Amino acid sequence: MIQPADVHNQRLVANVHPADWNNPIPADRYNLVVIGAGSAGLISAAIAAGLGARVALVERHLMGGDCLNVGCVPSKSLIRAARAIAEARRAEAFGLPSASANAADFGAVMERMRRIRAQISREDSAKRYRDELGVDVFLGSARFAGADVIEVDGAQLRFKKAVIATGARAAVPAIEGLEAAGYLTNETVFELTERPDRLGVIGGGPIGAELAQAFGRLGSKVTVFGRGPRLLPREDADAAQIIEAQFAREGIATRLGCELKRVERLDTGTRIHLTRADGGQETADVDAILVAVGRAPNVEGLNLEAAGVVFDPKRGVHVDDYLQTRNSNIYAAGDIAMAWKFTHAADAAAKIVVQNALFLRSKKLSSLVMPRCTYTDPEVAHVGLDEREASARGIEFTTFQVPLREVNRAVTDGEEEGFVKIHVKKGSDRILGATIVAAHAGEMVSEVTLAMVNKLGLRAILATIHPYPTQAEALKRVAGAYLRSRATPRMGRILARFMAWRR
């Protein structure tokens, strides 16, 4: 089911898809049936059961979904190991002998990842959901058999309300020869036990960029192929530029603005034929290809038509702002229905769905302030509007920016690459959005998110004492820059007169 079949993966599977699992006898009718036990499904089921609802949760593969098994958890474990190796390699800067470029034990790194994943998996285990949370867990493929009934493994689950939380999978681009040559996706890349010497990563978005840097640091010769003119195309252009420069320093090659034409299997690997941005033709030879060009929603096999749920294969299940589908008793949450494809977004959506489905239909997706983070080194975190979005909406704004090299903790840690950029509504300290590029940007963005959710401006950040020395002080410095911008010459003259009078 999941490779390699070592002790860690056996422990994982024993938690998230136990071989000896017996599905329960279905209740006459459930308050809530949840399809898919990834982030959105698990949270929906746990909260609803905690509120006293009779809940059934159906999972066809591994409980925990992408995040635990083939997403956040394995990728962040790998990234942490890769960072340790990168730091060891530049250890001379800290007065230690440097580790050699070939020192990484890829097998050991992957085993550590499998051990961590197995350890974390208890939280999402079938037994915990059944025995501790009181959820009826069905392992099998779910499909609608009508507007208020779902079938799984021959059993009929009647429901008052249902949640579709079937997630998404790697979208695969139509490139001639790719299928025949073979490729990795996030579903298979974490099964590797041997490092590919030359890795071609198709896609320069968050997943492609994170894994490209991790594999590069683990010793693969990595090339990232991107259609767009830059890495991380959704992010602030200055942020993307810092990551591109970091990749170049680390020897990760990028082919941006290129069109992949054909893939050809050779005796000694795979050849990628491409057209460069300048129209020139080029080939690149690799040992493995990782596809990371976006996500395709898992709508197939659900028989959504029988339930009157509208969907399409690109956007997934269509929902309104309350996450309700065309069938008012059926909701959808997470990657299957949302543009925000993050675990914390799936989690937040699950809470909305439970409230709207079981109680008053009152919570809206559009009310959320959604941060995000790409875990490259440095990390790139963002919340709210960026310059493009604010301009497109005709909002007048002012941007305050502080480079990390002006923050003492970044200097002492040798992590000076990056910046904090905060956009405020012109003439006020109201935060519209922020981009942070820093070693711990993902941690720092929560402070800005807290401020935005609670309608606190830059003055509130300035009034908050930040421990010295921390990278989060960069936020306070941005707030300080805002306050200085408010000082007028007239105010300066009044203060000078006051001080003269006090002397």
Ligand X SMILES: Cc1cc2nc3c(=O)[nH]c(=O)nc-3n(C[C@H](O)[C@H](O)[C@H](O)COP(=O)(O)OP(=O)(O)OC[C@H]3O[C@@H](n4cnc5c(N)ncnc54)[C@H](O)[C@@H]3O)c2cc1C
Tell me: does residue 167 bind ligand X (CB under 6 A). yes
Query: CA 359, 360, 366, 369: dihedral to nearest 10 degrees?
Result: -60
Tell me: does residue 39 bind ligand X (CB under 6 A). yes
Site map (CB under 6 A) of ligand X, residues 98-137, x = contact: ----------------------------------------
* Site residue total, ligand X (CB under 6 A): 39
Q: Considering beta carbons, is residue 343 or 449 the nearer one to ligand X?
A: 343
- Cβ 416 to ligand X shortest distance, Å: 24
Kindly indicate which of the ranges 227-235, 307-315, 337-345, 405-413 contains the residues binding ligand X, using the contact rule CB under 6 A.
Answer: 337-345
Q: For residue 162, what are the β-bridge partners?
A: 33, 330
Cβ within 8 Å of residue 286, ≥6 positions away: 196, 198, 199, 200, 223, 269, 270, 272
- Cβ 120 to ligand X shortest distance, Å: 13
> How many whole angstroms separate alpha carbon 137 and alpha carbon 328?
24
Long-range contacts, stretch 262-270, CB < 8 angstroms, 24+ apart: 262/175, 262/176, 262/177, 263/175, 263/176, 263/177, 263/178, 263/180, 263/181, 263/289, 264/177, 264/181, 265/177, 265/180, 265/181, 265/182, 269/198, 270/181, 270/182, 270/200
Q: Considering beta carbons, is residue 201 or 390 the nearer one to ligand X?
A: 201
Tell me: does residue 80 bind ligand X (CB under 6 A). no
Tokens encoding 215: 């594999």
Nearest alpha-carbon partner for 355 in 345, 365, 370 = 365
> How many whole angstroms separate alpha carbon 117 and alpha carbon 123?
11
Give the phi and the psi of residue 13 in degrees, each rounded to 5: -65, -35
**Among positions 200, 204, 334, 384, the unique one binding ligand X when judged by CB under 6 A:** 334
**Among positions 231, 239, 302, 319, the unique one binding ligand X when judged by CB under 6 A:** 302
Cβ within 8 Å of residue 469, ≥6 positions away: 407, 408, 409, 412
**Among positions 8, 54, 59, 223, the unique one binding ligand X when judged by CB under 6 A:** 59
Q: Considering beta carbons, is residue 301 or 492 the nearer one to ligand X?
A: 301
**Among positions 8, 71, 85, 202, the unique one binding ligand X when judged by CB under 6 A:** 71
Tell me: does residue 343 bind ligand X (CB under 6 A). yes
**Among positions 34, 36, 235, 439, the unique one binding ligand X when judged by CB under 6 A:** 36
Kindly indicate which of the ranges 1-9, 71-79, 80-88, 454-462 contains the residues binding ligand X, using the contact rule CB under 6 A.
Answer: 71-79
Residue 391 one-letter amino acid: S
Tell me: does residue 34 bind ligand X (CB under 6 A). no
Tell me: does residue 298 bind ligand X (CB under 6 A). yes
Which residues in this chain contact ligand X in the complex, by CB under 6 A? 35-41, 58-62, 65-67, 71-72, 75-76, 141-142, 165-168, 186, 207, 298, 301-302, 334-336, 341-344, 346, 375
